[in-house]
A and B are shown apart, each in its own frame.
Chain A
Amino acid sequence: MEHSSDRYYIPHGSPWPIVGSVALLFLMAGFAATLNGSGIGKISMLIGAGILLFMLFGWFGIVIKESVDGIYNQQVDRSFRMGMAWFIASEVMFFAAFFGALFYARQLALPWLGGDGNNFFTNFLLWPGFENAWPSNGPAEIGGEYKAMGPWGLPALNTAILLSSGVTITIAHHAVKAGNRKMLVAFLGLTWILGLLFVGLQATEYMHAYHDIEHGGLSLRLSSGIYGSTFFMLTGFHGLHVTLGAIMLIVIWFRTLKGHFSPENHFGFEAVAWYWHFVDVVWLGLFIFVYWL
């Protein structure tokens, strides 16, 4: 046997990373060109996205194959775990930047514009009459009239959904450890269904927000000053992560159906579970600071 599992497995070269780089080249250059108003940008983006998908299938495909073939020993498994953990840490910091923006705007920028601290003249000379409040689209009322998104309604429901999905995935986790396939399949399935439900409700909420006030909506848009900016950027990036997480859950679910995970060896499952918990925790932060307080 070439690769005894007592050795740390080092692949002999792989085409996928460079394929991924080429994909990102097309994707990013295409996106940038699109933003500059160039027509070919979109085509380039499509090509890039296509190559990226191809890369993801290829790369994950080979990793899954190697995993199933039992090439990875305990130490490799540990490397994957640590890698995933630190990846999630970096994601936390990405969200931290946006949370930071939210806190800064609420605790500092808006009070200053309203004349707090050493900013009497800011208010007096530049923004007379502006009073600090939250939510706010700023003294120039960028984006015009809008209504804030309340917490009790869809958001509360979504909180419940996401929290229960956290419970279901934990049950699935216990099931995988106990080797209980049936339970695993059921609860993992339930988890991604809840995930998709969340995404669907979030989309409904966005549509409601974007509709004009006259048409029963909130007129709340990305361009509704700092409130709209922070609201949509935070919930939007979160929604994106939920979507990715749900796709990952579905992939893992199919892998479960194929019998990929054993009680001892189920890194793929755990990685996704961790990710899901991370998404969950971020949502709690969002619910409290974006919707509620």
Chain B
Amino acid sequence: MSHTADAHHDHHAAPSGFKRWLFATNHKDIGTMYLVFALVMFFVGGTMAMIIRAELFQPGLQFVDPGFFNQMTTMHALMMIFGGVMPAFVGLANWMVPLMVGAPDMALPRMNNWSFWLLPVAFSLLLSTLFFAGGAPAGGWTMYPPLVLQTGNAFPFLIFSVHLMGMSSIMGAINIVVTIMNMRAPGMGLLKMPLFVWTWLITAYLLILAMPVLAGAVTMLLTDEYFGTSFFNAGGGGDPLMFQHVFWFFGHPEVYIMILPAFGIVSQIIPTFARKPLFGYESMVYATASIAFLSFIVWAHHMFTVGMPLSGQLFFMFSTMLIAVPTGVKVFNWMATMWRGSMTFETPMLFAVAFVFLFSIGGFSGLMLGITPADFQYHDTYFVVAHFHYVLVPGAIFGIMGGVYFWMPKWTGHMYNEKLAKIHFWLSAIFVNVTFFPQHFVGLAGMPRRIPDYATQFADFNMVSSIGAFVFGVSQLLFVYIIWSCVRGGEKATTAVWEGSHGLEWTVPSPAPHHTFEVAPEVP
């Protein structure tokens, strides 16, 4: 064990009371806050999804006004993406990156605190708009003008909350880059870093390059609305499509921001439970980097139907198809890691395996969407909704859940309740498919997305989808209970926790003490 409890640093024990959280500079405390925040937002966004699915349970309007429905769609996506998935990943990075590279903490601890505490501010601004007279933003999470300019009083709140989320993400990303590049224990060469660290490093670069572009895009929306500029107004020489280009230049890297860390988590979990080193470590790193690079040149595949010049459509079709290659490399490497391993199926492994299957299904539909002529039929239908929920829910969310089960014993010092966790897994894995698989069918059959009511031939599959969503949603209460009870107590976790564990993070005691690696560890 390389951790030394240094009597000299007793005063470093966790401060108590509210100050511990408000003034936090400790990466573990901040990581915890991020994770709790993300869980809360997942539930807020999930509740909105339940409202959406309740309204779509049957054709005809039963519960909500169409305007409110659009608010739910928009807010659901913003909550899930910026409030749920991204903070959850930053939380995991906060907890695990210093432990994995043998750093005493994050490189810039005060800024770390700020990047967290901007999030509650951003989301209070955004959620407060639900109580405004004109309601919350309802123009879709993509905020396309001119529609979004009709938002009303919620509009500046939307813009500023996006600015704040952006600031938070950029600061978080800078912190992670610096921690990884500057805080590694001696001997922890770049090509020795665990894959979770690698994927996060690349994700952080994506964030630094993509988020400011989003900030620029929404700033132009703001000035178009209030200061008379004509960026998105053809009459003044601008173009509504220009927003889409700028937005998706951010937006497509953003979707990889939401999946690369999950790739990293899965790449930690599978070798652990296959009791075998990751196959093709270096090619995993290069594949991740290629995905990141390609992600900046495919953006217009979200805009095939806007009437781009033919050459543009061809270019973006080809570049989009290319992304399947490095992603394929990752899938094949996971496959080869399992091959001739010696596997056991604790909950993290179950989530990781489900991830590989279901993410691939989402990836395949993504590839289909990339075929431009076919996308003319798929675009803005539930086929797209099915695609991105497959990569996001059993993709990003399963990745996060797998990571939580994987590392929770290290955080809390207790094993979670394996039996309940398996139930949680099976309920989630089955019902996520019941929810989203039928959406492929209704989408192909012609049901557009973002509609509160639909023609009667779509009725059956929508009902299936809604039932799936309700059960999936309720199952998540179990997740919260498992976390809660694991924090409260349970079987003591060992230092290594898992039989196949490998890496620095498994050399510190469970629970990980408030301060670790104050003296740089020996890298095995």
Contacts and interface: CB of A to CB of B under 8 A. Distances in A.
User: Do A and B touch each other in the complex, judged by CB within 8 A?
Assistant: yes
A24 interface: yes
Contact of A90 (B25, B125, B211, B242): B211
Which are the 3 A-B pairs with shortest beta-carbon distances? Answer: A97-B216, A140-B235, A138-B237
A11 B230 contact: no
A174 interface: no
A59 B307 CA distance: 50
Contact of B114 (A11, A21, A78, A138): A21
Interface residues of A, number: 73
A108 interface: yes
B25 A14 contact: yes
Contacts, number: 238
Interface stretch (A109-117, A159-167, A178-186, A276-284): A109-117
A233 B220 contact: yes
A160 B24 CA distance: 46
B333 to A, nearest CB: 29
Interface string A125-163: 011000000001111101100000000000000000000
Interface string A75-91: 10011101100110111
A142 B233 contact: yes
Contact of A233 (B20, B111, B229, B515): B229
6 contacts: A12-B12, A14-B23, A82-B182, A139-B234, A223-B230, A232-B229
A108 B111 contact: no
Interface of B (DSSP majority class): helix
B114 A98 contact: no
A200 interface: no
A35 B222 CA distance: 10
Contacts of B236: 137-138, 140, 142-143, 225-226, 229
B108 interface: yes
Interface string B152-196: 010111011101100000100111011001110000000000000
A78 B182 contact: yes
Interface stretch (B116-124, B271-279, B438-446, B478-486): B116-124
Interface in B306-361: 307, 309-310
A211 interface: no
A113 to B, nearest CB: 6
A25 interface: yes
A87 B335 CA distance: 39
Q: Which of A75, A86, A110, A137 has the most CB of B within 10 A?
A: A86
Contacts of A20: 114, 117
A29 B226 contact: no
A8 B185 CA distance: 12
A254 interface: no
Given A105-B238, A229-B238, A28 B212 contact: no
Interface of B: 11-12, 15, 19-20, 22-26, 103-105, 107-111, 113-114, 117-118, 120-121, 124-125, 153, 155-157, 159-161, 163-164, 170, 173-175, 177-178, 181-183, 208-213, 215-217, 219-220, 223, 226-231, 233-239, 242, 245-246, 249, 307, 309-310, 515, 518
A13 interface: yes
Contacts of A225: 230, 235-238
A76 B487 CA distance: 34
Contacts of B209: 89-90, 93
A78 to B, nearest CB: 5
With most chain A CB atoms within 10 A of its CB, the pick from B164, B210, B213, B229 is B229
A5 to B, nearest CB: 14
Interface string A204-231: 0000000000000000011101111110
A32 B157 contact: yes
Contacts of B114: 16-18, 20-21
Contact of A226 (B226, B230, B245): B230
B156 A101 contact: no
Contacts of B26: 10, 13
A18 B178 contact: no
B215 A94 contact: yes
Nearest to B208: A90
A259 interface: no
A110 B231 CA distance: 12
Given A11-B25, A24-B118, 13 more contacts: A8-B103, A11-B110, A13-B25, A82-B178, A83-B111, A86-B173, A96-B213, A97-B217, A138-B234, A142-B237, A222-B223, A232-B229, A233-B223
A7 B174 contact: no
A198 interface: no
Contacts of A222: 223, 227-229
Nearest to B29: A13
A100 B247 CA distance: 11
A31 interface: yes
Contacts of B19: 13
Contacts of B231: 101, 105, 226, 229-230
Given A10-B104, A113-B234, A139-B237, A229 B229 contact: yes
Contacts of B233: 138, 142
A17 B111 contact: yes
Given A79-B178, A137-B236, A138-B230, A101 B117 contact: no
A13 B153 contact: no
A137 B235 CA distance: 8
B110 A32 contact: no
B228 A223 contact: yes
A15 B20 CA distance: 10
A87 B174 contact: yes
Contacts of A112: 239
A143 B228 CA distance: 9
B211 to A, nearest CB: 7
B183 A79 contact: yes
